[in-house]
Structure 1
């Protein structure tokens, strides 16, 4: 089988992570590889390998959909989904299945390498593919939906219980609806591809799993293959029907290339991790609070706003419970209000509690890889409490500092009379090294030249002063 060494389109047996140097050279190589693929499409159409590993979510769905579209643009004769997944989100799974069903290029779901699995959402994708294959030592199944839409569906339904009675609780009714919908969905896929629909329904209702040999014996898959070359050799000459008609595969000796996730897919994979999304929201909250407490610093506000926007973008791709999101936003509002209102920590404490409860409720799914560890919620809540009360302490300390600028800074200042003052017309005094027009706080009181006075008031450019000794006596009383 012919091989290429491009880091973007590379044989499945030789996939390596691209380095950071030589990006221009890699781009040129990828460009020429594309030209070679187009030039060779008429003689020996390529086989495109699309790795699908880890939890299925928005990032993996976006990658698979774009990779299948790219396979059609390249004129590939076959797209191989190399699957190793514990499952994932229902909506992302359905996006992938829609792309497979509408693909003009035949799609082969291949559970590999040995030890891999296609559990939960992966089972549906295998059933939807035109060809289903497994490597020895792999398994598929356990397709019962788990909290698809928010209700707890961890307990599979018993066979034959297609209806719920009037005494069923709302949670069990919701669970039954989800199981019924999932069973009908996978049964329809099995009937479309001519596979074992009875076992598919049992995989949903009873969470059954099968090994590679058992799946082949029960007509759940089409064949087993030790590796990718073995798979392509066994598929040679096979007839496959897609939306564009019948195809005859000529995979013997065909060029096999792997489409690797690009920067967009990697970026989505990072930010759509629930823990990362929550951390981004928290960092954004820190930045906004700090900017409100210290207006004009700019950097915390800019960083906080960017983090909030990226975090909210990630949330709209995930199954978010809006009650949890509302509690987080309410907690943020309370924490910001704590900066300005003298509540002695009541709003701050309430904000932290609302934030912690909202973080626990934020994601309405128990799909593998899409939960938030309780330890992370506790750590973020404690860090938020320390941050808020530290900022509040600094703000309170700054409010207690004496005024050092503006008209209020003159009050309490000590000055020296430059002339005698015995009438209400006043005279002149030196305060802070400047000559000021002053008048006595009590007109009959004589202010002698050279006497030290304290400023007790200001009216425009005229200061009201009192003898320093009387002011001190008043303070002692």
Structure 2
């Protein structure tokens, strides 16, 4: 009992200390926190999901005076960029953007995000710009007119994309009171700036080496938030790094073009294997799950449907090769269609959003190996003698079981069945003659006598 009481006293003392500490913290007032988000690498669906979810969560939490976003990106998808900027513009909490660390860049889509944020800052030795839409140089079609300097005239679609991007970044620059002329130049001419030049030209608001230095530099500054003056109160705020959750990490994994491509191949070949050899369904289940995940990933990625069509054609040709003995013609066409479709599958000029050529070659070699295996298997099966039907009796060696002296014919036993036999040279057959079946005509087999030198003692089989 005394031991029990001592334990209870210890537990109650710990609880009292915990509640006392909580009471002191409440009396001292809530702690201001600044969530720190990080964009590193290409801006895709996973990055967009991560940034949007964190902005929404921050707007639902009290005592958050600002959101800090650090950027180091070569660019990304226009769809992900627009969604991020929409939530930044609609945020009730100021979003502070910093190109960080030293040597980082806010190229292409990163320039648009920097212009959209309430405070734009850069670390020393960083750059921004080159905001021309990446499809301007790689869009197929159009009437290209070349002059002596090999310059091309953009077609109507390219002009639409360019003018839309210019209008978009100009609207962001006007909203935040930044350099509109240079914003248009960054899109039209792919212009770039260093951090010092950007500050001098009023492209950014502050130059800071670290996030902590930036927070101290802008504390007390008045900005426009939802068209109303807003004073930044960042003194004593604690910076809280926010890492992507499991959902964002999962999206980042499956939206990697290489992973999505591998999942699609697993799904296709898994279903084919299940159709060829139905069994426990393991390959069918794995193939179905992989294919559905791949389709969801491709829904988020810029997919070229011509490339997808070529891949489906390749699968159809590979299946046909295993069903129709084309001796490699269909299979070879399938391998070529597989390579071309894989190259054209992702419609983006960013290396981070393209499928690795080494992976494409590996899948193509595996498919070619399957075609070679199927062709060799078909050729070996064609060389084997038939094992059922009338064709299986060709070459069968047996003995005349009975004869018909008047007609010169006889009877043989083949596989337990009694067949009428007739010599192919119209030679009379006699009981006990060793013969080989040459052909089958209705219910009569044509046989050929075997010379004594070639007879096998006691044989009745092949």
C-alpha root-mean-square deviation of aligned residues, in Å?
4.1
Alignment of 1:95-244 (within 5 A): 95-147=83-135, 151=139, 171-243=154-226
CA–CA distance in structure 2, aligned partners of residues 415 and 385 of structure 1:
45
Gaps of at least 5 residues in structure 2 are 1-21, 142-150, 454-462
CA distance in 2, matches of 1:116, 1:363: 26
Q: 1:104 to 1:292 in 2, by over 3 A?
A: same
| Residue 313 of structure 1 pairs with residue 293 of structure 2 | no
Contact 1:148 1:365 survives alignment (8 Å): no
Q: Deviations over 1:368-427 (max 9, x none)?
A: 51233444434433332222222343355356555668998788777789x86879xx99
Q: What displacement does 1:240 show?
A: 3.8
Task: For 2:241 and 2:36, locate their aligned partners in 1 and report how far apart those are by CA, in whole Å.
Answer: 4
Per-residue CA distance 1:207-228 (angstroms, 9 max, x = gap): 1222222212211111122212
Distance 2:231 2:174 in 1: 22
SS state at 1:266 partner? helix
- TM-score (normalizing by structure 2): 0.76
Query: What is the distance in 2 between the residues matched to 1:192 and 1:328?
Result: 46
The residue number in structure 2 matching 1:70 is: 57
List alignment gaps of at least 5 residues for structure 1: 1-34, 154-167
Quote how far apart the aligned CAs of 1:97 are.
Answer: 0.7
Structure number with greater CO (CA < 8 Å, separation at least 6) is 1
- State whether structure 2 residue 241 is matched by structure 1 residue 258: yes
- CA distances 1:27-64 after superposition (whole Å, capped 9, x unpaired): xxxxxxxx99x989973332111111101111111111
The one of 418, 423, 428 equivalent to 1:438 is: 418
Aligned pair 1:87/2:87, yes or no?
A: no
Report the Cα offset of residue 131 of structure 1.
1.1
- Taking structure 1 as the reference length, the TM-score comes to 0.73
Please state if 1:50 is matched with 2:37. Answer: yes
Question: How much does 1:296 deviate?
Answer: 4.6
Aligned to 2:254: 271
CA distance in 1, matches of 2:190, 2:139: 18
Distance change (3 Å), C-alpha of 1:195 and 1:430: closer
Aligned residues: 415
d(CA) in 1 for partners of 2:28, 2:120:
24
Alpha carbons 1:87, 1:368 under 8 Å: kept: no
